[in-house]
Amino acid sequence: MSTNCVNIDPLKEKVLAGGELTEQEVYSLCDVPSHELREAAAEVTAKFCPRRFDSCSIINARSGKCSENCKWCAQSAHYSTGCDEYPVVDHDECLEAARLNHSQGVGRFSLVASGRAVKGGALDKITAMLREIKDDVGIATCASLGLLDADGMGRLSEAGVTRYHCNLETAPSHFATLCTTHTIEDKLRTIQHAHDLGMEVCSGGIIGMGETWRQRAEFALALRRARPVSIPINMLIPIPGTPLADSTLITDEEILDTVALLRLVHPKAILRFAGGRARLSREVQLEAMRIGISGAIVGDMLTTIGNRINEDKKLANDAGLEF
């Protein structure tokens, strides 16, 4: 962060009063000392965030051989990472995972698939499983199936899916340095299809991919275009075989400052722990929850090790939240 000093108090009071920070005000947060930024975010969190920890679990519905060249991703066919490869997850395995999560009190279950967009027979199989999960298991559903068109999104809506996930990933000014096979505008087009059907949107990204602090503010502003109810925050895990394999991990301080920034820009959204948090200490996770984190992807992540559900229940309880 910058060593210049900006008075956070009028910005904090504006947010607490229900106002929205201007673009200039969001960028000025880059010049607020870390302690003041986090304390302001803690006040906003205390006012606007429910005391129930929002949980979601995911299953890899299709793995590997992705046509897109996202530099961070283990599943891209452009890189040799040794990740699992399969066309569509086994039906019984998927339903059993949904039942297990539902029995443990997880609030939502999401099917996440590799590839630019799920189509054809794969979409038929996945929508059928999502419909069965909703009707027979009873857990709320979400899907992350790439850059769906309006027809594909309509298929999900008809299957009872109420939330669609599509990350913007990073600041628009940084995205093209990390992926050239699609654009943020492509993502926003798919997100609009979900909004057009009355679906909720989950959209966040990954921090620690070489972006500047100012670009994290730009990312927070860009997310307003997606109008997400849920913002997953991933910390980059450098994966051998990808172009970002040798990236230096961002510090705990940077992670906490980014959580605080996002909370001030998105005071009522669910800020969700996602990939990469397994490396964080319990103390850092609890501090992140105090200043902004209000949910998590629980269980195992897609291609990295996540946190077990029972551990997350205890973490939520220790933070004074219901699970």
- Rounded Cα distance between 283 and 250, Å, is 17
pTM: predicted TM-score of the whole model, two decimal places: 0.94
105: left (phi over 0), alpha (psi -120 to 50) or beta: left
Residues 6+ apart with CB under 8 A from 92: none
- Tokens standing for 167? 């990350």
Evaluate whether 55 touches 107 at the Cβ level (below 8 Å). yes
- Rounded Cα distance between 161 and 144, Å, is 11
Residue 150 burial class via C-beta count within 10 angstroms: exposed 0-12, middle 13-18, buried 19 and up:
middle
Per-residue model confidence as pLDDT tens for the chain (323 residues): 655 688 999 999 999 999 999 999 999 999 999 999 999 999 999 999 999 999 999 999 988 889 999 999 988 889 988 888 888 999 999 999 999 999 989 999 999 999 999 999 999 999 999 999 999 999 999 999 999 999 999 999 999 999 999 999 999 999 999 999 999 999 999 999 999 999 999 999 999 999 999 999 999 999 999 999 999 999 999 999 999 999 999 999 999 999 999 999 999 999 999 999 989 999 999 999 999 999 999 975 444 444 588 889 999 999 999 99
- Tokens standing for 292? 């902004």
Q: Is the dihedral of CA 62, 68, 72, 75 positive or negative?
A: positive
Q: Which CATH superfamily is domain 9-318 in?
A: Aldolase class I (3.20.20.70)
Question: String of b and e for 83-107 (b: at least 16 CB within 10 Å)?
Answer: beeeebbeeeebbebbbebbebebb
Q: What does the DSSP 8-state code read for residue 221? A: H
The candidate with the shortest Cα–Cα distance to 263, out of 35, 42, 14, is: 42
Tokens 């973490």 belong to residue: 315
